[in-house]
Amino acid sequence: MSGAGYSFLLFEIVCVVLLTASLLHHYGNWRRQQLVVTGVTFLAWQFCFLIVFILPTDINCTFYEDCLMSNVSGLEANGTSAPACREPWNHIPRAFLVSFWRVIYWSCQFLTWIFLPIMQSYAKAGEFNVLGKVKASLVDNALYYSTYLLIFAICFIYVATRPDIHIDFAQLRVIGITASNTWGLVLIVLFLGYGLVELPRTVWSAGCPGESLKRAYFRLAKVNSELIEHQEELEDLAAEAVQLAECVPGPEHPLAANARTVAELAESSGYCGGRDAGLGRGKPTASSIAAARRRLNEDEDGGGLTAKRLVKLHCQLKKAIGLEQRSRCLLQEAYASAAFLEDIESNRGSRLHFFRRGEGDFDSESGGLLRRLLGPGVEFYWKCHARSWLLRGAACFLLAASGLMLWCECTFFIKWPVLTPLALLVQAGRGALSVQLICLLAIGYLCACTYFTVFRLKLFNYFRLVPNHQTDENSLIFSGMLFCRLTPPLCLNFLGLVHLDSHLASGLKAQTAYTQLMGHLDLVAIISNGVNLYFPIAILLLALASYFRLGSRLLHCLGVQHSTGGLLKSTDSGDEEDELFARKPPPARQLPRSSGAAGAAAAPVAELSPSPPRSSRFERLLQADGEPVEFEADTQPLFPSARAAVQQQQLRQQPPPYKSGSGRGGFFDDV
């Protein structure tokens, strides 16, 4: 490997490390979360990003090796020498690339199939000892492993019945990789078809501040309703835990330690004294005690203190605490989003041409730095005008990219004539640096559409990547597990799109080191034929269904206004968006003039008087019962109340981290 190849590979690895660290810092919080969670998530994300960044280099080196093999074949056949092949400046030997892919791929497989699922289930298990938690995690992942074993068994039986194939360790390895890729491709069909349509639509909606503000109002009420439900559930479970602890006859009882662990977990949640008691350690409220007694009497075990009841309650408490903390983070995000959009909407009609804010400052760190660098004048034109047009232009570009990807997915299996635009572009620029850039952008867009769908679907509403250090540990583990599961088959699918799979391309003599490790899907003909035929059809049908919102329309015809688990329903459901779009946007508010340079510049404009005091807008949005309210056309957005609510959320003391399991503290107990 040349010095330039060493340098470029090291540069890519450093870029991946910095990118992974910055993203993990943006979404996670290593000071508050377990180091093992941060470390494993960092490795999982880094391995997936390395596949995306190094694969274009592998493609470039493959073109050089294909040229050498073509020259040798031409010299042997005709006795004439072909034009000299130009070695890429960042060429890496095949032996090194195969070893590199072997380490990366099997590390991803170990994380996604063994370590991360067991780690996640271990942390959520309600048992009180290590052996019980391990058994519970294996049972929890039984269905997950059985689907893989079923695909592996089908592939093995098919290959075993073919007389022309001798089964050895290499064939078993290829069968295992094929089963894993097939499992991932099924998910990719669901996620990619939705993401190719919804990602451009979301970017376009973000470029319309008025519509985004109405959606933010509705989402604020909806998230607050979910938070109230989770708080009530947690309060009831905490009261039940205290009731069970009171049933212990004495400290010598065999279940006394476990009951005390559950009671301490309930007290650490801060809801033993009711939602209004903060972190109070007092006795539960009368209503909570009555509800707990009803749950004890109606339980199928017949009431009383049992090991099974403690395990079940321990698991329910862990889940309820996680849901309550996640809803609190989402509510904080919804407050900040509404504040930001209200700032933009109120400044768009201003004649001051200075960007002015309401009370409080809830911009991100990057937003505050941008404000200090640009100044209020440039910030006004950027946020009120240029940002909207830039987002709409980006949405048009993403829509064209989605159309290109859909066409490539529907035509990649046609060997001749080549109808895939990506394959024509890559084949025309063999060995050029532009080829690597095109491949990197294409793979990155496919990954972005796939992962965008994962965290938008209501099926996975429990897991969500929340920015500004608000993502919980379970969501980080789930994201690492899913990234490692989907990235390898997605990159293998991309090699088929650009006709770099030697079993799909007619004139290619060399194959990439990545394909050499992963093998070909045509080892199992039923799977290869299904991928070539049904994979494009399924993606196209799901994309059309997403474009026309068929899922929302079907549920609306059935009288279901809110989907509870449909695959085509996102977190912000289509019916809710339609209702919001039909409403008249509230009039822009008049901001009080601030002091300083901006206030001096605004002094000549005397007719712009500050808006009257407002105190009920967000209070009515966040009613005690959590029900969303209808927005009146003449209601002004009471922005100071929104910012005051954010300040209260930020200043509220958070419950201390809880410990689960035995008193010694397990490895994953704080997750």
Encoded tokens for 655: 């419950």
Residue 17 confidence (pLDDT): 95
Distance CA 579, CA 657 (A): 40
Beta-carbon contacts of 166 under 8 Å, excluding residues fewer than 6 positions away, are none
Distance CA 104, CA 488 (A): 10
Write 19-23 long-range contacts (CB < 8 A, 24+). Answer: 19/49, 20/45, 20/46, 20/49
Encoded tokens for 454: 């994962």
Compute how many other C-beta atoms are within 10 angstroms of the C-beta atom of residue 406: 19
pLDDT in tens, 369-409: 666 676 777 888 888 888 899 999 999 999 999 999 999 98
| Model confidence band, residue 630 (pLDDT cutoffs 50, 70, 90) | very low
DSSP 538-562: HHHHHHHHHHTTHHHHHHHHTT-SS
- Bridge partners of 570, per DSSP, are 457
pLDDT in tens, 27-54: 888 888 888 989 999 999 999 999 999 9
Q: Which of 57-61, 373-377, 426-430, 569-573 has the highest mean pLDDT?
A: 57-61
Region class of 42: left (phi > 0), else alpha (psi between -120 and 50), else beta: alpha
Distance CA 134, CA 125 (A): 8
Residue 446 has pLDDT above 80, yes or no: yes
Residue 664 has pLDDT above 70, yes or no: no
**Rg over CA atoms, the chain:** 29
Least-confidence region, from 50-64, 316-330, 606-620: 606-620
Cβ proximity of 55 and 84 under 8 Å:
no
Tell me 570's DSSP state. B
Cβ proximity of 431 and 86 under 8 Å:
yes
Q: Residue written as tokens 């996620």? A: 191
Give the mean pLDDT of 214-243. Answer: 88
Q: How many residues does the chain have?
A: 671
Least-confidence region, from 193-197, 229-233, 316-320, 468-472: 468-472
Q: Residue written as tokens 């793979």? A: 443
Task: Output 225 or 667, whichever has higher pLDDT.
Answer: 225
Encoded tokens for 318: 């862990």
Residue 507 confidence (pLDDT): 64
Half-sphere exposure of 76 (CA within 13 A, CB side): 6
| SS3 of 1-29 | CCHHHHHHHHHHHHHHHHHHHHHHHHHCC
Cβ-based burial of 191 (10 A; exposed 0-12, middle 13-18, buried ≥19): buried
Reported pTM: 0.76
Residue 617 confidence (pLDDT): 43
Write 18-27 long-range contacts (CB < 8 A, 24+). Answer: 19/49, 20/45, 20/46, 20/49, 24/476, 25/469, 26/467, 26/468, 26/469, 27/465, 27/466, 27/467, 27/469, 27/470, 27/471, 27/476
Give the mean pLDDT of 473-490. Answer: 90
Per-domain residue ranges of the chain: 1-218+371-548, 549-580
pLDDT in tens, 240-284: 888 888 877 777 788 888 888 888 888 888 776 544 433 333 445
Least-confidence region, from 86-95, 497-506, 633-642: 633-642
Residue 671 confidence (pLDDT): 43
| Model confidence band, residue 178 (pLDDT cutoffs 50, 70, 90) | confident
Q: Which of 243-257, 334-348, 646-660 has the highest mean pLDDT?
A: 334-348
Report the b/e string of 153-177 with b at 16+ CB within 10 A: ebbbebbeeeeeeeeeeebeebbbb
Cβ-based burial of 43 (10 A; exposed 0-12, middle 13-18, buried ≥19): middle
Distance CA 488, CA 47 (A): 10
Helix (H, G, I), strand (E, B), or coil: what is residue 338? helix
Q: Tell me the H-state helices in 349-417.
A: 365-381, 387-411
